[in-house]
Amino acid sequence: MKLPKDPTKRTKRLELRTFRVSDYGVWKEYKLRTQRAKNRWDRIIKKPSDASLSAFRKFFKKLRSDERRDFTYTFGVFLRDSGELIGFIAIMEVYRSLSHSAYLGYRIDSAFWGNGYGKEAVKAALKLGFCDLKLHRLEAGIEPQNERSIALAKSLGMRFEGRKKRAVFFAENGATF
Ligand SMILES: CC(C)(COP(=O)(O)OP(=O)(O)OC[C@H]1O[C@@H](n2cnc3c(N)ncnc32)[C@H](O)[C@@H]1OP(=O)(O)O)[C@@H](O)C(=O)NCCC(=O)NCCS
Protein backbone atom coordinates (compact mmCIF):
# COMPACT_ATOMS: atom_id res chain seq x y z
CA MET A 1 0.00 0.00 0.00
CA LYS A 2 1.34 3.41 -0.89
CA LEU A 3 0.01 6.89 -0.37
CA PRO A 4 -1.35 8.56 -3.50
CA LYS A 5 1.25 10.88 -5.07
CA ASP A 6 -0.22 14.03 -3.54
CA PRO A 7 -2.23 13.00 -0.50
CA THR A 8 -3.23 16.53 0.42
CA LYS A 9 -6.37 16.95 2.49
CA ARG A 10 -8.01 20.36 2.64
CA THR A 11 -10.46 21.36 5.31
CA LYS A 12 -12.18 24.71 5.78
CA ARG A 13 -9.10 26.34 7.34
CA LEU A 14 -6.31 23.80 7.06
CA GLU A 15 -4.21 21.86 4.65
CA LEU A 16 -2.69 18.53 5.66
CA ARG A 17 0.12 17.40 3.45
CA THR A 18 3.46 15.66 3.43
CA PHE A 19 6.56 17.82 3.60
CA ARG A 20 8.48 19.25 0.65
CA VAL A 21 12.14 20.27 0.45
CA SER A 22 10.92 23.87 0.10
CA ASP A 23 9.25 23.73 3.55
CA TYR A 24 12.44 24.50 5.45
CA GLY A 25 11.38 28.14 6.08
CA VAL A 26 7.97 27.33 7.61
CA TRP A 27 9.38 24.34 9.47
CA LYS A 28 12.10 26.54 11.01
CA GLU A 29 9.53 29.19 11.99
CA TYR A 30 7.47 26.53 13.71
CA LYS A 31 10.50 25.22 15.57
CA LEU A 32 11.67 28.63 16.70
CA ARG A 33 8.36 30.16 17.73
CA THR A 34 9.12 31.02 21.29
CA GLN A 35 6.75 29.84 23.91
CA ARG A 36 6.81 27.94 27.12
CA ALA A 37 5.57 24.41 27.12
CA LYS A 38 1.95 24.66 28.23
CA ASN A 39 1.81 21.10 29.45
CA ARG A 40 4.15 18.15 29.50
CA TRP A 41 2.99 16.84 26.14
CA ASP A 42 3.81 20.17 24.52
CA ARG A 43 7.44 19.62 23.61
CA ILE A 44 9.48 22.60 22.51
CA ILE A 45 12.95 22.57 21.04
CA LYS A 46 15.91 22.66 23.34
CA LYS A 47 18.49 24.42 21.20
CA PRO A 48 18.50 26.53 18.00
CA SER A 49 20.48 23.87 16.13
CA ASP A 50 17.34 21.69 16.31
CA ALA A 51 15.97 24.10 13.70
CA SER A 52 19.03 24.06 11.43
CA LEU A 53 18.94 23.17 7.76
CA SER A 54 20.81 19.96 8.45
CA ALA A 55 18.25 19.01 11.12
CA PHE A 56 15.48 19.62 8.56
CA ARG A 57 17.29 17.51 5.95
CA LYS A 58 17.63 14.69 8.43
CA PHE A 59 13.94 14.98 9.37
CA PHE A 60 12.94 15.06 5.69
CA LYS A 61 15.11 12.07 4.77
CA LYS A 62 13.61 10.02 7.57
CA LEU A 63 10.05 10.95 6.59
CA ARG A 64 10.61 9.91 3.00
CA SER A 65 12.26 6.66 4.02
CA ASP A 66 9.44 5.85 6.48
CA GLU A 67 6.86 6.59 3.77
CA ARG A 68 8.60 4.43 1.18
CA ARG A 69 8.55 1.54 3.63
CA ASP A 70 4.82 2.07 4.31
CA PHE A 71 5.87 2.42 7.94
CA THR A 72 5.04 5.94 9.12
CA TYR A 73 3.43 8.90 7.39
CA THR A 74 3.97 12.39 8.77
CA PHE A 75 1.84 15.31 7.68
CA GLY A 76 2.27 19.00 8.30
CA VAL A 77 -0.81 20.96 9.40
CA PHE A 78 -0.74 24.25 7.48
CA LEU A 79 -3.07 27.24 7.71
CA ARG A 80 -4.62 27.65 4.29
CA ASP A 81 -4.73 31.44 4.41
CA SER A 82 -1.15 32.15 5.52
CA GLY A 83 0.70 28.94 4.68
CA GLU A 84 1.98 28.82 8.27
CA LEU A 85 2.88 25.42 9.69
CA ILE A 86 0.98 24.99 12.98
CA GLY A 87 1.33 21.30 13.75
CA PHE A 88 2.09 17.74 12.81
CA ILE A 89 0.09 14.58 12.49
CA ALA A 90 1.63 11.15 12.14
CA ILE A 91 0.15 7.81 11.20
CA MET A 92 2.78 5.59 12.71
CA GLU A 93 4.01 2.04 12.64
CA VAL A 94 1.62 0.72 10.05
CA TYR A 95 1.02 -2.98 10.48
CA ARG A 96 -0.48 -4.55 7.38
CA SER A 97 -0.40 -8.22 8.04
CA LEU A 98 -3.32 -9.12 10.23
CA SER A 99 -4.86 -5.92 11.47
CA HIS A 100 -4.07 -3.17 8.92
CA SER A 101 -3.59 -0.86 11.85
CA ALA A 102 -1.46 2.08 12.93
CA TYR A 103 -0.98 4.55 15.77
CA LEU A 104 -2.09 8.13 15.47
CA GLY A 105 -0.02 11.00 16.85
CA TYR A 106 -0.84 14.71 16.73
CA ARG A 107 0.49 18.00 17.93
CA ILE A 108 -0.63 21.60 17.46
CA ASP A 109 1.57 24.57 18.34
CA SER A 110 0.23 25.83 21.66
CA ALA A 111 -0.09 29.39 20.30
CA PHE A 112 -3.02 28.01 18.27
CA TRP A 113 -4.72 25.79 20.85
CA GLY A 114 -8.41 26.07 21.60
CA ASN A 115 -9.48 27.17 18.13
CA GLY A 116 -10.68 23.82 16.91
CA TYR A 117 -7.60 23.29 14.71
CA GLY A 118 -6.64 20.06 16.47
CA LYS A 119 -10.06 18.59 15.89
CA GLU A 120 -10.19 19.76 12.27
CA ALA A 121 -6.74 18.32 11.53
CA VAL A 122 -7.24 14.98 13.26
CA LYS A 123 -10.60 14.53 11.51
CA ALA A 124 -8.84 14.94 8.16
CA ALA A 125 -6.06 12.56 9.26
CA LEU A 126 -8.61 9.88 10.13
CA LYS A 127 -9.90 10.15 6.56
CA LEU A 128 -6.36 9.84 5.24
CA GLY A 129 -5.76 6.77 7.35
CA PHE A 130 -9.00 4.95 6.69
CA CYS A 131 -9.65 6.00 3.08
CA ASP A 132 -6.27 6.74 1.46
CA LEU A 133 -4.14 4.28 3.42
CA LYS A 134 -6.93 1.71 3.66
CA LEU A 135 -6.34 1.12 7.34
CA HIS A 136 -8.78 -0.83 9.40
CA ARG A 137 -7.84 0.52 12.80
CA LEU A 138 -6.19 3.65 14.19
CA GLU A 139 -5.15 3.84 17.79
CA ALA A 140 -4.30 6.97 19.76
CA GLY A 141 -2.20 6.17 22.80
CA ILE A 142 -3.11 8.97 25.21
CA GLU A 143 -1.89 9.34 28.76
CA PRO A 144 -4.85 9.44 31.17
CA GLN A 145 -3.88 12.93 32.38
CA ASN A 146 -3.86 14.46 28.89
CA GLU A 147 -7.36 15.90 29.11
CA ARG A 148 -7.12 18.02 26.00
CA SER A 149 -6.15 15.12 23.84
CA ILE A 150 -8.79 12.85 25.38
CA ALA A 151 -11.45 15.52 24.73
CA LEU A 152 -10.30 15.82 21.14
CA ALA A 153 -10.31 12.07 20.50
CA LYS A 154 -13.74 11.66 22.10
CA SER A 155 -15.19 14.55 20.16
CA LEU A 156 -14.25 12.70 16.96
CA GLY A 157 -15.93 9.50 18.03
CA MET A 158 -12.84 7.61 19.17
CA ARG A 159 -13.57 5.11 21.91
CA PHE A 160 -11.76 4.38 25.16
CA GLU A 161 -10.58 0.78 25.03
CA GLY A 162 -8.39 0.37 28.06
CA ARG A 163 -5.09 1.09 29.73
CA LYS A 164 -1.87 -0.29 28.29
CA LYS A 165 1.02 -0.78 30.64
CA ARG A 166 4.58 -0.03 29.50
CA ALA A 167 3.17 1.02 26.14
CA VAL A 168 6.07 3.31 25.21
CA PHE A 169 9.73 2.50 25.51
CA PHE A 170 11.82 5.30 27.01
CA ALA A 171 15.59 5.03 26.63
CA GLU A 172 17.82 6.15 29.48
CA ASN A 173 18.08 9.65 28.00
CA GLY A 174 14.29 9.92 27.93
CA ALA A 175 14.04 9.48 24.17
CA THR A 176 11.25 7.34 22.83
CA PHE A 177 13.19 6.24 19.73
C1 LIG B 1 -4.21 17.88 22.00
C2 LIG B 1 -4.07 19.06 21.05
C3 LIG B 1 -3.66 18.55 19.67
C4 LIG B 1 -5.41 19.80 20.96
O5 LIG B 1 -5.28 20.85 20.01
P6 LIG B 1 -6.32 22.07 19.94
O7 LIG B 1 -6.10 22.75 18.64
O8 LIG B 1 -6.23 22.88 21.15
O9 LIG B 1 -7.71 21.26 19.93
P10 LIG B 1 -9.15 21.84 19.64
O11 LIG B 1 -9.15 23.34 19.79
O12 LIG B 1 -9.62 21.26 18.36
O13 LIG B 1 -9.97 21.22 20.84
C14 LIG B 1 -10.25 19.84 20.85
C15 LIG B 1 -11.16 19.51 21.99
O16 LIG B 1 -10.47 19.75 23.22
C17 LIG B 1 -11.34 20.39 24.15
N18 LIG B 1 -10.57 21.35 24.94
C19 LIG B 1 -10.19 22.57 24.57
N20 LIG B 1 -9.51 23.13 25.58
C21 LIG B 1 -9.50 22.23 26.59
C22 LIG B 1 -8.96 22.24 27.92
N23 LIG B 1 -8.29 23.27 28.39
N24 LIG B 1 -9.11 21.12 28.68
C25 LIG B 1 -9.80 20.06 28.22
N26 LIG B 1 -10.32 20.02 26.97
C27 LIG B 1 -10.18 21.09 26.18
C28 LIG B 1 -12.38 21.09 23.36
O29 LIG B 1 -13.58 20.95 24.08
C30 LIG B 1 -12.41 20.39 22.03
O31 LIG B 1 -13.52 19.52 21.93
P32 LIG B 1 -14.91 20.12 21.33
O33 LIG B 1 -14.58 20.74 20.01
O34 LIG B 1 -15.79 18.95 21.23
O35 LIG B 1 -15.36 21.16 22.30
C36 LIG B 1 -3.01 20.08 21.57
O37 LIG B 1 -3.38 20.47 22.86
C38 LIG B 1 -1.58 19.56 21.59
O39 LIG B 1 -0.88 19.58 20.58
N40 LIG B 1 -1.11 19.12 22.76
C41 LIG B 1 0.30 18.69 22.95
C42 LIG B 1 0.60 17.41 22.23
C43 LIG B 1 -0.37 16.31 22.61
O44 LIG B 1 -0.82 16.21 23.72
N45 LIG B 1 -0.66 15.46 21.61
C46 LIG B 1 -1.51 14.32 21.80
C47 LIG B 1 -0.72 13.20 22.37
S48 LIG B 1 -1.76 11.79 22.59
Task: Categorize the per-residue pLDDT at 35 as very low, low, confident or very high, splitting at 50, 70 and 90.
Answer: low
Is 60 exceeded by the pLDDT of residue 177? no
Task: Categorize the per-residue pLDDT at 3 as very low, low, confident or very high, splitting at 50, 70 and 90.
Answer: low
Q: Residue 4: what pLDDT?
A: 64
Is 60 exceeded by the pLDDT of residue 173? no
| Cβ(129)–Cβ(138) below 8 Å | yes
Is 90 exceeded by the pLDDT of residue 66? yes
Q: Residue 174: what pLDDT?
A: 55
Residues with CB under 6 Å of ligand 1 are: 41-42, 106-108, 113-119, 140, 142, 146-149, 151-152, 155
Pocket probe for ligand 1: among 14, 89, 104, 148, the residue whose CB has the most ligand atoms within 8 Å is 148
| Cβ(42)–Cβ(63) below 8 Å | no
Provide mean pLDDT across the span 76-85: 97
Is 70 exceeded by the pLDDT of residue 2? no
- Its pTM stands at 0.91
138, β-bridge pairs: 102
- What's the angle, vertex CA 78, arms to CA 76 and CA 79, rounded to 5? 165
DSSP-derived pairing of the beta strands 85-95 and 101-108: antiparallel
Element of type H or E holding 72? none
Is 90 exceeded by the pLDDT of residue 93? yes
Which one is predicted more confidently, 149 or 42? 149
DSSP-derived pairing of the beta strands 14-17 and 101-108: unpaired
> Among 40, 25, 18, 41, which residue's Cα sits nearest to residue 88?
18
Q: What is the DSSP letter of 55?
A: H
103, β-bridge pairs: 92, 139
| Cβ(12)–Cβ(120) below 8 Å | yes
Residue 73: count of CB within 10 angstroms of its CB: 22
Task: State how far the Cα of 86 lies from the Cα of 172, in Å rounded to an integer.
Answer: 30
All structural domains of the chain: 9-155 (3.40.630.30)
Distance (angstroms) between ligand 1 centre and the Cα of 166 equals: 24
Provide mean pLDDT across the span 111-132: 96
Average pLDDT across the chain, whole number: 91
Which one is predicted more confidently, 177 or 127? 127
Q: Residue 96: what pLDDT?
A: 94
